[in-house]
Structure 1
Amino acid sequence: MLLDQPVQFTQTAKDNLRLIAFPEPFLRVGMRGGTCGGTYVLGFDSKTENDEEYLIEEIPVIIDRRQLLFVLGTEISYEAQGNGFFLHKPVKK
């Protein structure tokens, strides 16, 4: 079963992504290095056989099926004064 929106974008992130000419057809969201000490991955890429494809608010996103549970619920924001794009999981209350 495919999810409608496994990740979400803040308005600022959406606005900035729409300004970028994607060098590859998709925005890849994923994890590198495992679940405990892993880091998020955000970049441009082509789809592979292990990827699920989503169109999230007009942004073409791919996520490797093996990483989907780890990135599920991730919010992607953009900080103009900081490091640019930032990925985090909001704490549920």
Structure 2
Amino acid sequence: MSNQPHPVCFTESAKDNLLPWVLEGKMPEPYIRIGMKGGTCGGTYVLGFDSKTEFDEEYLIDRIPVVIDRRQLLFVLGTEVDFQARANGFYLHKTQNS
């Protein structure tokens, strides 16, 4: 696991919806993957369950196991994971500080 500051963060709402899966061992894969799909300039964020690969950095963020491909770290740096029921679940966005 990396000792660097966390490149992403989770809102309280996101943690409230993810932690039960983590703590009860009900995640379909051991990690939450955060990344980009479809290119870095016009790409979209990716959030899902996944396994770790040789290209990944591993983080434990607020008890949530996260992997991010090293090649995508700069593009997801400063990303916040949020959950809103009215928006159909989880979404990612850049924070104001990034």
Correspondence for 2:94: 89
* Percent of paired sites with the same residue: 66
SS in 2 for 1:81: helix
Provide the rounded CA distance (Å) in 2 between the counterparts of 1:47 and 1:75: 21
SS in 2 for 1:5: coil
Structure 1 contact 4–54 (Cα < 8 Å) conserved: no
SS in 1 for 2:96: coil
Q: Hey, which of these two has a bigger chunk of helix by percent?
A: 2
- Residue 74 of structure 2 aligns to which amino acid in structure 1? L
Q: CA RMSD in A?
A: 1.6
Moved over 6 A (4+): none
Provide the rounded CA distance (Å) in 1 between the counterparts of 2:6 and 2:65: 11
Distance verdict in 2 for CA 1:51–1:29, change over 3 Å = same
Aligned counterpart for 2:34 among listed residues 29, 39, 44:
29
Offset of 1:2 from its aligned partner? 5.0
Aligned length: 93
1:16-67 CA-partner distances (Å, limit 9, x unpaired): 0012321000000000111221000000000000000000010000000000
Report the TM-score, using the length of structure 1 for normalisation.
0.92
Asked if 1:8 corresponds to 2:9, the answer is yes
- Runs (5+) with no aligned partner, structure 2: none
- Runs (5+) with no aligned partner, structure 1: none
- Residue 45 of structure 1 aligns to which amino acid in structure 2? D
Structure 2 contact 32–67 (Cα < 8 Å) conserved: yes
Correspondence for 2:19: 18
